[in-house]
Amino acid sequence: MESSNPNADDSFIKRDGQMKPLRKVKHNEVMEVGARVWVPVSIAETRVSKRFDCIPSGTLYPNADEIEYLQRLVKYKDYAILVLNKPPKLPVKGSMPVHNSMDALAAAALSYDYDEGPKLVHRLDRESSGLLLMGRTKESINHLHWLFNDLNTAKSSCKAWNDACDAKFQRFWALVIGTPKENEGLICAPLSRILLDDGKTERVILAQNVGLEPSQEAMTEYRVLGPTINGCSWIELRPLTSRKHQLRVHCAEALGTPIVGDYKYGWFVHRKWKQMPRVDIEPMTGEPYKLRRPEGLDVQKGSVLSKVPLLHLHCRELVLPNIAKFLPVLNKKTETLPPAFSAKPDLLRFVASMPKHMKISWNLMSSYLV
């Protein structure tokens, strides 16, 4: 609020051709309808930090810095889709108390030359990071929803589109506590949802197959990327179905190796979490493994050495059909691609870099990864 000091240069306002002094509004004063309030620029125009891993402020009207930050997250854009590298802690879908969700911010900052902003076609957990796909047109959104629906068994008359759909996949990297018994395999473990705290919270569990609650089929391919180092292992996850918290539950309950930083499904292991995990033996030399700690490296940013690590789950790779190429065929229901589109690739492949806390953990523990 402006100062009430009459000697200050900025404490007067010109009104009706006269300079009238401003005054402070008392905390218990009721404002009148039509009253005007002046605030300093430092309050009216907030700025967001330009660090890569910071989160935009909670507003549906991003300022210039926030728009620039969000546009830096965009890895690919054509007339049909947007692909972003979502940072951790940023929710993808908003609710009444959540304003800085990815869908709301994208609608306000990533419309580019379109009248409306892009729409979500699949989701990532708030704490996870990585590749997030959004549709830009009504037609592309409908086809992408179909593509990420587990019931998309119908085939098109276009063989190239069908082949491209069959080749679509997501690949995640995760750091888990412990190591799976087998180096690779397929997890087929149906999931069920239960309500806790009088319905206030929801939890996903492995289905008990007793018929007491509905369940959904859930399948995940996994592969161990290297040996256990300091009690943790890097693994690769490829979900074949799209269930809520599927990867986190499959890691924690099916494999018995919860993801580092997953306090919802791995709380029983994180209760014993120590800032400095135990030292294991190097598989090649038999010597105690020494964590590589580059001089000056700050490990207190949610990495594996932090007291409270962040979730180590990242959607690293995404392969999907080139929607922009096939839309003319899908909309007209013909088998022939227009000449201008035939030279474009059938598939698009994207790879996203890990967030800072996972990069630190990777650098500390990646000596013997394959």
Residues with active-site annotation: 125
- Cβ pair 237, 220 in contact under 8 A: yes
- Cβ pair 230, 295 in contact under 8 A: no
Q: What is the DSSP letter of 275?
A: S
SS3 call for 214: coil
In which element (H, E) is residue 220 found?
Answer: strand 219-224
Q: Helices 323-332 and 138-147 sit at what angle, rounded to 10 degrees? A: 100
- Cβ pair 365, 293 in contact under 8 A: no
- Cβ pair 144, 132 in contact under 8 A: no
Alpha helices per DSSP H over the chain:
41-44, 64-72, 102-109, 138-147, 159-166, 246-249, 267-270, 323-332, 339-342, 356-365
**How far, in Å, CA of 166 to CA of 233, rounded?**
30
Residue 246 phi/psi, 5-degree rounding, is -60, -50
Tokens 């240069």 correspond to what residue? 9
**How far, in Å, CA of 121 to CA of 142, rounded?**
9
Pairing relationship of beta strands 219-224 and 201-206 according to DSSP bridges: unpaired
